[in-house]
Chain A
Amino acid sequence: MPARMPLPHDFQALILCGPGVSFNTFTSTPEDFPKALIPVANRPMIWYPLDWCRRANITRITLITPTTSCKAIEDALSRNPHLTSPELPRPDVLAPSGLSQNTGTAEILRLPDVQTIITGHFLILPCDLLCDLPGERLLETWMIHAAGMVGSSAAAGGLGVWYPTKSELAVKGEETNFLTTAQLPHATVPSSPESLRPNLSEVVYSSTTDTLNDITESQKSFPVRHGLLRKHGKIRMLTTTRDAHIYLFPYWTLDFINQNPKFDSISEDVVGWWAKATWQDGLVPKLGLEQIFNPPSSQAKGNSDANQSHNEIDQDIDITSMSTTHISNLLTPPPTPQSPSSSTNTKSPKPKTAIPPFLCYLHPTSSSISSSSSSSPPQQQTLIRRVDTTPLLLTLSLHLASLASPSPLATKQKIHPTTTIAPRTTISASDVLIGANTTVNQFTTIKNSVVGANCVIGPNVRLTRCVIMDDVEVGERCQLTGCVVGWRSKVGKGCKLGEGSEVAPGYAVEEGVEGAGELLGGFEGLEEDVGSGEEEEEEDQDMEGDDTAADDA
């Protein structure tokens, strides 16, 4: 294993705890239960990015949340057993005054509260990220390829992560981004086998697939500028990838965002325009990049923060010149001095501002991995996904439940020791998670499911591919398949809920309800519907069940 590079000790991560618009079944009350605390495989969502930071040795973490959700998150951080674990870094929680539930992501970075806490290069993470790609490798890649180690000593570039949505965990209707990338120049030296270099490319265009559809609908075609092709001979267009919302930004990005008050979202505006500006020359002055890279006078420099100039000191070292590995630049044609046409051309825009690239790490699909390195042992496919819709929550929770121990995302004790399990139950231990203090009654079958803490699963119940959150009661003879049942809800006796059903938190489903693909007790319905269902008593409280699960083969 190659020696790890030392990480800059002040590298800071901002985790954006958004509202979770497409999660509305579970995020209707952001004051009590913000999206960041929704359990994913029995752990609050925010645990995953925090744990990722822990693994990457990033200790300066700030959670940015709307004021409304601030208290709930702070409470959880001090009380939730997962979040209070001693090895997990303690994040600061910042609730900037101007931040509401629907502030754009770029908008957030423009808030003065946020700007003051950013002191150097920074990392942006979403709160709904599941990622077992080692973060330090990502940081390393960024430092080598974007932050001035390779190429000129110009300002640092950025790095983002995209992943394919059409992999084995495909979920219908997942949001996708439209990404266009260009090949990086061939590597000077062969990269090490675990390097991310083969999957690295330069972003030249980024937007959402919806925007793309708007364009193709209004223009009946998608135009690609010749200028882009002149700059990059080979571009790839991907329509089914998704932006993981992991961004490594150099400090100057803040200036860039400040210069362009119209930027609303990071993925579409900041990255999109940045990527475009790398090849579309006219955009550089328009986006105010000229001032950032070539400040017209010393007076402009005075405007920028003292922090920045402090930061610039270590940036200005030209590491390339110290490298012993050089590549001769064969590709650029030699200048032809006698040509009259070229001299007229070069006259005007000579002092062109070179915009550092925004790089893209495109997570490979398992199929492409196996084809490229068939010789290597069957390694666990690393996972990068975002959880922002209920179907994704279901799929990914179940996937996490089936993960085995080497994966950092796997749960060590799949069935919590405090669980009470009655005899003659069938629980497939390899892909079922059961939380603390939950009771499972006899003749119940649980397959490939996640059951939260303090739940009571009645007798003769059949759970297949379900996510049952905390404090849920499932009545006897229920058959639940492919459901997500919110916390503190109740499912009456003999219910049959099929694929795609959701039960809203706190809702009580009446006895004998049958259906599939429905939302029971959504926030649009009557607010509190609790009284209507008959209170099910926890009847069979046999406490003498085996501690371990009775497996089926």
Chain B
Amino acid sequence: MPPKPPKAKAKVKPQEEHREDSLQAVVLADSYETRFRPFSLERPKCLLPLANTPLIEYTLEFLAHVGVEDIFIYCGAHSDQVEEYVNASKWRLPTTPFKNLLLLKSDATSTGDAMRDLDNRDLIKGDFLLVSGDIVSTMAIEPALAHHRARRDKDKNAIMTMILREAGLHHKAKFTSHKPVFVLDPTRDRCLHYEEIRSSAGQTRHITLEPDILSRHPEIEVREDLIDCHIDICTPDVLGLWSDNFDYQSIRTSFLFGVLKDYELNGKTIHTHIMTDGYAARVRSLKAYDAISKDLTGRWTYPLCPDSNHVPGHHYRYHNNGTYQENGITTGKSFQVKGRCVLGQGTAIGEGVTVSESFLGRKCQVGNDALIEASYLWDSVVVGDNTIIRHAIIAQGAVIGKGCTIESGAMISYDVRISDNTTISGSKKITRSSLANNAIARRTKPPISDEESQNDENISDSDDHSDASKASDRIFQNSQASVSDVSVSTLQSDESGYEQIEDRSRRASFVSQTSDEAAPNKDFHVEATASILDGLQKDDLPENINLELTAFRMTVDASQHEIRRAVVAAFMKRIASLEAGGTGTLEAVHRVLSRYRLVVERSLFDKETREKPDQVDFMLCVQRELLSRGNGESLLLFVAKEAYDLELIEEDGILQWWPDIRSRHGDMASIRGLTERFITFLQEAEEDDDESEGDEDDA
């Protein structure tokens, strides 16, 4: 029987090899959000100091701790700064635990774009860890990883495991404006539904569970007590799903929600692993920043404490009085320090100063008789005599004059100078960055203090235009009163960067068209697509589908463009599933389009006019939808031809679409190849027509 054993081994081996693969991790260094303004205007969020250590250090430390070897860091805004920092950091030294540390730059404007970009780059070989670049965690992920692998070996469709930390109801580091609610099947650790409770007014006061969830699972849990710091173990299939669904933007609200909703369709399951020990938090808002900073000094995050000195060159020591101090700190007489503080090297503190519960960076200078309470002073901040600072964040290089009062919640950005005897009220954010002008006028920034953040509209990142007026008079520039040195028009070169940031907070993938859509319609596309697709699959009458769609449109007040997008998305999915079922591509296109031509017709209103904007839009949607398909190029041809044959799209429509800039631009051009000939054919026919028409005119 000697030949047998090797055979068995050979069988086992590929799997084993698969497991032996080093764990890869993708770090999303940019959260594509605007909660850290004004600070994030000038520096990337992941480099903001948390207890005097740049944020991204904590994430990398976590990854090193859990044994990741390949890391891809996705940079968003200010990628050059991130690159510079990482290249100079200890992670590039020969002692680094990482085999590969690669910075990926892309112009992605949302998490979704970044994921799709990652899919195209084909870097991911096996399961990978997806984390955001702002986590502070000491959790051990091995058990979760083991569960994930066991599940995945059993069922290929178990594509993702989210690692969540159980917490009490009132955990400080919890993100209060969007509370995640997970609906789980505890017997199988499966996530069934995801929703966020937004505390802004006017939202519904319920979360809604599909009847199926209740009827199929004898036991479910609805949990709001989980800290979600976005640590996900993903299979490579996850990237494919991002690519298949071009409209997914964020990990939780669109990807997770969408995949769970489409369970019937593609059968993918997402699981959770709930940890009960280890620290986990995400610096998602300034409130969390405040809370996590205190946890760091309170040693809840051990071994991630200021005196662990993870960053080379740091040498904080824990002193008996509860402070963490570096060497070379000079303090005046009767200097008082209360509570847990962190003081960086070279900081000079004058006489009669009281510092409590605060974080001072390196080389700060605090004048005599100043009072600093629960505040964050980053490096090289100068505070004048008799100044009082409470619950504020003051960024690098800022200079606060004498006798100032900085009230609770104020934020003072890089290199701002505040003249003597100024009072800065709590809601103000002061920056020299010209980008802020417009940007801040649009939305209010969260003050950091706990009490203020209860008032959650502040943290909301949705475009709330009604807020604009209210916000604008809180903006420092507008109130003019007490700035001594605010330059308004430097940094012209960053103007383009500003554009990008603006787009980011919206659903930016189709900048040219969707920028006017209101935020509430965000989910319309997902839901409408699902509902149409459902109809197509059940072979409903086109009238019924149309009726349902119209009703839905009315309730959400969606634009016709959105309708068309949803129709196109659903049709293309249906075609794909027919193809997968063995139907020929041409046949599939024909079946779907001819049977449901009514649905398309009802979304086009330009039959009579000479300009065909709706038909052009329809074709653009098709083209965009097919971008991510393998056979997009041929499908585009089939759809264009079929739509033309069915007279859904008139000749003019096609001919106006083809030269449209949006159709020719960027990625979109990549699938035009095959259709070219069809267009040429049409153009020639058109010319013929013209001629014949001309003839008739003549006659």
Chain A residues with CB under 8 Å of chain B are: 164, 166, 178, 212-213, 216-217, 220-227, 229-240, 331-333, 336, 338-342
Cβ-defined contact, A233 with B210, below 8 A: no
Q: Kindly provide the distance from the CB of B630 to the nearest chain A CB, expressed in whole angstroms.
A: 36
Q: When chains A and B are docked, how far (Å) is the Cα of A213 from the Cα of B212?
A: 11
Cβ-defined contact, A336 with B450, below 8 A: yes
Q: Kindly provide the distance from the CB of B494 to the nearest chain A CB, expressed in whole angstroms.
A: 36
Closest to B455 in A: A341
List of B residues within 8 angstroms of A178 by Cβ = 214
Q: When chains A and B are docked, how far (Å) is the Cα of A223 from the Cα of B211?
A: 10
Closest to B219 in A: A238
List of B residues within 8 angstroms of A220 by Cβ = 211
Answer whether residue B224 sits at the interface, using C-beta atoms and an 8 A cutoff.
Answer: yes
Q: Mark B194-216, 1 if CB is under 8 A from A, else 0.
A: 00010000000111111101110
Cβ-defined contact, B214 with A331, below 8 A: no
By Cβ-Cβ distance, the 3 closest A-B pairs, closest first, are A233-B225, A339-B451, A223-B206
Q: Kindly provide the distance from the CB of A223 to the nearest chain B CB, expressed in whole angstroms.
A: 4
Q: Kindly provide the distance from the CB of A212 to the nearest chain B CB, expressed in whole angstroms.
A: 7
Cβ-defined contact, A235 with B172, below 8 A: no
Answer whether residue B140 sits at the interface, using C-beta atoms and an 8 A cutoff.
Answer: no
Answer whether residue B665 sits at the interface, using C-beta atoms and an 8 A cutoff.
Answer: no
Cβ-defined contact, A222 with B451, below 8 A: no
Q: Kindly provide the distance from the CB of A116 to the nearest chain B CB, expressed in whole angstroms.
A: 42
Answer whether residue B222 sits at the interface, using C-beta atoms and an 8 A cutoff.
Answer: yes
Q: When chains A and B are docked, how far (Å) is the Cα of A231 from the Cα of B167?
A: 14
Q: When chains A and B are docked, how far (Å) is the Cα of A221 from the Cα of B207?
A: 10
Q: Kindly provide the distance from the CB of B227 to the nearest chain A CB, expressed in whole angstroms.
A: 11
Q: When chains A and B are docked, how far (Å) is the Cα of A131 from the Cα of B206?
A: 38
Q: Kindly provide the distance from the CB of A370 to the nearest chain B CB, expressed in whole angstroms.
A: 14
Q: Kindly provide the distance from the CB of B497 to the nearest chain A CB, expressed in whole angstroms.
A: 35
Cβ-defined contact, A342 with B451, below 8 A: yes
Q: Kindly provide the distance from the CB of B688 to the nearest chain A CB, expressed in whole angstroms.
A: 54
Q: When chains A and B are docked, how far (Å) is the Cα of A224 from the Cα of B226?
A: 17
Q: When chains A and B are docked, how far (Å) is the Cα of A515 from the Cα of B211?
A: 38
The binding surface of chain A is classed by DSSP as mixed
Q: When chains A and B are docked, how far (Å) is the Cα of A225 from the Cα of B206?
A: 4
Cβ-defined contact, B219 with A236, below 8 A: yes
Cβ-defined contact, A342 with B207, below 8 A: no
Closest to B207 in A: A224
Q: When chains A and B are docked, how far (Å) is the Cα of A332 from the Cα of B210?
A: 33
Answer whether residue B107 sits at the interface, using C-beta atoms and an 8 A cutoff.
Answer: no
Q: When A338-B451, A339-B454 are in contact, do A223 and B207 touch as well, CB less than 8 Å?
A: yes
List of A residues within 8 angstroms of B172 by Cβ = 333
Q: When chains A and B are docked, how far (Å) is the Cα of A481 from the Cα of B117?
A: 66
| 28 sampled A-B residue pairs with Cβ under 8 A | A166-B218, A178-B214, A217-B211, A221-B209, A222-B208, A222-B209, A223-B207, A223-B208, A224-B207, A224-B209, A224-B222, A226-B207, A229-B222, A232-B169, A233-B224, A234-B221, A234-B222, A234-B224, A235-B221, A236-B186, A237-B214, A237-B219, A239-B214, A239-B215, A240-B218, A331-B169, A339-B454, A340-B451
Q: Kindly provide the distance from the CB of B198 to the nearest chain A CB, expressed in whole angstroms.
A: 10
Cβ-defined contact, B170 with A216, below 8 A: no
Cβ-defined contact, A333 with B225, below 8 A: no
List residues 272-291 of chain B with CB under 8 A from any CB of chain A: none
Q: Kindly provide the distance from the CB of B93 to the nearest chain A CB, expressed in whole angstroms.
A: 41
Q: When chains A and B are docked, how far (Å) is the Cα of A237 from the Cα of B181?
A: 14
Cβ-defined contact, B225 with A234, below 8 A: yes
Q: Kindly provide the distance from the CB of A473 to the nearest chain B CB, expressed in whole angstroms.
A: 43
Closest to A235 in B: B222
Q: Kindly provide the distance from the CB of A226 to the nearest chain B CB, expressed in whole angstroms.
A: 5
Answer whether residue B299 sits at the interface, using C-beta atoms and an 8 A cutoff.
Answer: no
Chain B residues with CB under 8 Å of chain A are: 167-170, 172, 179, 181, 186, 197, 205-211, 213-215, 217-226, 408, 450-452, 454-455
From the candidates A229, A236, A336, name the one contacting B207 in the complex (CB within 8 A): A229
Closest to B179 in A: A229
List of A residues within 8 angstroms of B408 by Cβ = 338
Q: Kindly provide the distance from the CB of A440 to the nearest chain B CB, expressed in whole angstroms.
A: 42
From the candidates B209, B215, B223, name the one contacting A233 in the complex (CB within 8 A): B223
Q: Kindly provide the distance from the CB of A337 to the nearest chain B CB, expressed in whole angstroms.
A: 9
Most chain B C-beta atoms within 10 Å of own C-beta, residue among A212, A226, A227, A240: A226
List of B residues within 8 angstroms of A237 by Cβ = 214, 219-222
Q: When chains A and B are docked, how far (Å) is the Cα of A240 from the Cα of B215?
A: 9
List of A residues within 8 angstroms of B226 by Cβ = 233
List of B residues within 8 angstroms of A212 by Cβ = 214
From the candidates A216, A331, A332, name the one contacting B211 in the complex (CB within 8 A): A216
List of B residues within 8 angstroms of A342 by Cβ = 451, 454
Cβ-defined contact, A238 with B181, below 8 A: no
User: With contacts A213-B211, A237-B221 known, what are 16 further pairs, Cβ within 8 A?
Assistant: A166-B218, A224-B208, A224-B209, A225-B205, A226-B207, A229-B179, A233-B224, A236-B186, A239-B215, A240-B218, A240-B219, A331-B168, A331-B169, A332-B170, A333-B172, A341-B451
Q: When A226-B207, A239-B214 are in contact, do A233 and B197 touch as well, CB less than 8 Å?
A: no
Closest to B208 in A: A221
List of B residues within 8 angstroms of A224 by Cβ = 206-209, 222
List of B residues within 8 angstroms of A236 by Cβ = 186, 219-222
List of A residues within 8 angstroms of B224 by Cβ = 229-230, 233-234
Cβ-defined contact, B214 with A222, below 8 A: yes
Most chain A C-beta atoms within 10 Å of own C-beta, residue among B167, B211, B454: B211
From the candidates B197, B207, B214, B225, name the one contacting A216 in the complex (CB within 8 A): B214
Most chain B C-beta atoms within 10 Å of own C-beta, residue among A229, A230, A240, A342: A229
List of A residues within 8 angstroms of B222 by Cβ = 224, 229, 234-237
List of A residues within 8 angstroms of B220 by Cβ = 236-237
Closest to A229 in B: B224
Cβ-defined contact, A233 with B169, below 8 A: yes
Closest to A367 in B: B187
Closest to B186 in A: A236
Q: When chains A and B are docked, how far (Å) is the Cα of A331 from the Cα of B170?
A: 6
Q: When chains A and B are docked, how far (Å) is the Cα of A338 from the Cα of B208?
A: 37
List of A residues within 8 angstroms of B168 by Cβ = 233, 331
Q: Kindly provide the distance from the CB of A336 to the nearest chain B CB, expressed in whole angstroms.
A: 5
From the candidates B197, B210, B213, B218, name the one contacting A226 in the complex (CB within 8 A): B197
Most chain B C-beta atoms within 10 Å of own C-beta, residue among A178, A237, A332: A237
Q: When chains A and B are docked, how far (Å) is the Cα of A336 from the Cα of B210?
A: 39
Q: Kindly provide the distance from the CB of B679 to the nearest chain A CB, expressed in whole angstroms.
A: 45
Q: Kindly provide the distance from the CB of B222 to the nearest chain A CB, expressed in whole angstroms.
A: 5
Closest to B171 in A: A331
Q: When chains A and B are docked, how far (Å) is the Cα of A342 from the Cα of B205?
A: 21
List of B residues within 8 angstroms of A230 by Cβ = 169, 224
Q: When chains A and B are docked, how far (Å) is the Cα of A164 from the Cα of B187?
A: 14
List of B residues within 8 angstroms of A341 by Cβ = 451-452, 454-455
List of A residues within 8 angstroms of B206 by Cβ = 223-226
List of A residues within 8 angstroms of B210 by Cβ = 221-222
Q: Kindly provide the distance from the CB of A217 to the nearest chain B CB, expressed in whole angstroms.
A: 7
Closest to B223 in A: A234
List of B residues within 8 angstroms of A221 by Cβ = 208-211
List of A residues within 8 angstroms of B455 by Cβ = 341
Q: Kindly provide the distance from the CB of A441 to the nearest chain B CB, expressed in whole angstroms.
A: 46
Q: When chains A and B are docked, how far (Å) is the Cα of A164 from the Cα of B207?
A: 26
Q: When chains A and B are docked, how far (Å) is the Cα of A420 from the Cα of B31?
A: 83
Cβ-defined contact, B181 with A229, below 8 A: yes
Closest to B218 in A: A240
Q: When chains A and B are docked, how far (Å) is the Cα of A111 from the Cα of B454?
A: 49
List of B residues within 8 angstroms of A238 by Cβ = 218-219
Q: When chains A and B are docked, how far (Å) is the Cα of A226 from the Cα of B222?
A: 11
Q: When A216-B214, A220-B211, A237-B214 are in contact, do A226 and B221 touch as well, CB less than 8 Å?
A: no
